[in-house]
Chain A
Amino acid sequence: MLEVTDLRVAYGQIEAVKGVSFRVPEGSIVTLVGANGAGKTTTLAAISGLLRPRAGAITFDGRELTRLGTHTITRLGVVQVPEGRDILATMTILENLELGAYGRRDRDAVRRDIARMLERFPILGQRRGLAAGSLSGGEQQMLAIARGLMARPKVFLLDEPSMGLAPQLVREVFRIVAELRAEGQTILLVEQNARKALAISDYAYVMESGRITLEGRGADLLTNDAMVSAYLGGIVIDAPPVVDPGPT
């Protein structure tokens, strides 16, 4: 469905993405994991047309995206929830959701979708008339996801949805992502929280300094030695938690 081939993106002289290829098949959840600065966010920016790639191809349903404007790409159904959420803080929660459906013409269906989002995310429902800036970080993340869904994405790009959230909210975000996957939503997820991301991924790519260094099924990578030592804190997934023996 979404295919990236030998993508290269540079900021001036500095090449941040150095020939990356991956595929996001329909109905699956594919994850890019990797440390800060590995080029994950830059890759997403190129897919959404926020940055022009230096070379390579990005095709969606056989259509080349690299020459299109961001708003056109969003309207085609490649919808991104950016890192840092980019909530419209001065506008109300309801207005944020309405703008999520900006490219849609089916007014009645939009109204039904808004009602569904307010039901699915009860916090948003209770505060629909308030400025989005009054929400907490976790609530803003929920709003960003709900707003993205309002566009009825064919491919949903989620950039670091768990960043900066308390552990309980991180779990909540991953629960929602897994739920969307179960509903058949195609997702490209970018995460630093590799362990949680891999656990819900069908397939994953590991990025390092602008290149893909490892790829495989999510479950396989969770137990891959190189992966474990580099990104999963060196603790094998099934090892028992370290328990403080207490005073002896």
Chain B
Amino acid sequence: MPDINWSQQLLNGLFAGSAYALFAVGYTLIFGVLDILNLAHQAIYMLGAFCALVLVTGNVAGLGPLPGGMQLPFWLATLLAMLVAGLLGILLDRLAFAPLRKRPDTHFSGMISSIAVALIFEALATWLFLPQRSQFPAGTIRPGAVTLGQGALSYSRVLVIVAALVLVVLLTVLLRFTKLGKAIRAVAENPKAARLLGINVEAIYSFSFFLSSALGGAAGIFYGLAVSRLDPTMGRSVELKGLAVIILGGMGSVPGAVLGGYLLGLTEVLSVALTNTSNYRDAIAFVLLFLILVLRPSGLLGARRVREA
């Protein structure tokens, strides 16, 4: 048994878990509201990160500097990039999902067309930002680290944890206590009943995409900053993990996605620490997913019954 620095592992696990949770809450929100899997969520995640990068550096790698040489502070760039990501989400819904809404196979056809949009977004990013790795300039946020016992975590990684916490709390408050949040939950449970109550269901769909995508964009920005790596396919590696997380937590459940995210993050980090290699990391994480689903087919916090025939 290797000598393990437990506080370091805990910090690493919290970091990874926060990144997964932040990606997964938006992903699961769309599933909860529309019953569809948005496979372009990862592309929005990537575009959100690049959008913030452009606003911070004032430069588009493939085209050159922005006119005016505008360079924004990171926090402002983040807010604007989240807004852009949210608007891209509305566009995504209009392009990939809305035209198929009335089809009987809308779940499946929407999934396919969202893959298409993801590929288009990736191609666009490759053209605009070039295929190689980019990163936020040094000094985007203060260098340094937080220490806990024998562990240390850089500020940029702590920022991922804080951002996940803040955004998840805000989302939860919105869904629980505001009129808009109640309308979203009503649409998620029963669109026909929601319509009869006077709720504009199409508008709620658009807003849900805005919300989900703004969160997805934020996940990309903070993770991209923390690992100093942005590239047009950066969303692909998180997509499958994100799917595992929302299945684990219970499809459509926001608290489930958070729980699932941290569980996956901590499991991965522990498996690396215990085996002293990252070779088995994904295998161990997915075996855990498999075991939990055998015991609880609807996920940890899945309210939704497993679909009956």
Mark A residues whose CB is within 8 Å of B. 48-50, 69-71, 74-75, 79-80, 82, 86-91, 95, 98-100, 102-103, 147, 151
Contacts and interface: CB of A to CB of B under 8 A. Distances in A.
Nearest to A144: B193
B201 A71 contact: yes
By DSSP majority rule, is chain B's interface helix, strand, loop, or mixed? helix
A118 B195 CA distance: 24
Contact of B192 (A50, A91, A147): A50
Given A71-B201, A102-B179, A91 B186 contact: yes
Given A71-B200, A74-B197, A75-B198, A82 B192 contact: yes
Given A71-B201, A90-B303, A80 B182 contact: no
A20 B194 CA distance: 27
Given A88-B189, A89-B189, A50 B183 contact: no
A111 to B, nearest CB: 13
A197 B189 CA distance: 31
Contacts of A49: 195
Interface string B169-203: 00000000001001101100110111111111100
Contacts, number: 63
Interface of B: 179, 182-183, 185-186, 189-190, 192-201, 303
Given A50-B195, A90-B303, A102 B183 contact: yes
Contacts of B195: 49-50, 69-71, 74
A110 to B, nearest CB: 10
Contact of A102 (B192, B197, B303): B197
Given A91-B182, A98-B182, A151 B197 contact: yes
A82 B197 contact: no
B185 A91 contact: yes
Contact of B196 (A74, A90, A95): A74
Contacts of B201: 71
Contact of B199 (A48, A71, A95): A71
15 contacts: A48-B196, A71-B195, A82-B192, A86-B190, A88-B185, A88-B189, A90-B189, A90-B303, A91-B189, A99-B182, A99-B183, A99-B194, A102-B197, A102-B198, A102-B199
A88 B192 contact: no
Contact of B193 (A75, A82, A95, A151): A82
Contact of A88 (B179, B186, B303): B186
Nearest to B202: A69
Contacts of A90: 185, 189, 303
A88 B186 CA distance: 7
A39 to B, nearest CB: 19
A151 B192 contact: no
Contacts of B194: 99
Contacts of A99: 182-183, 186, 194, 197, 199
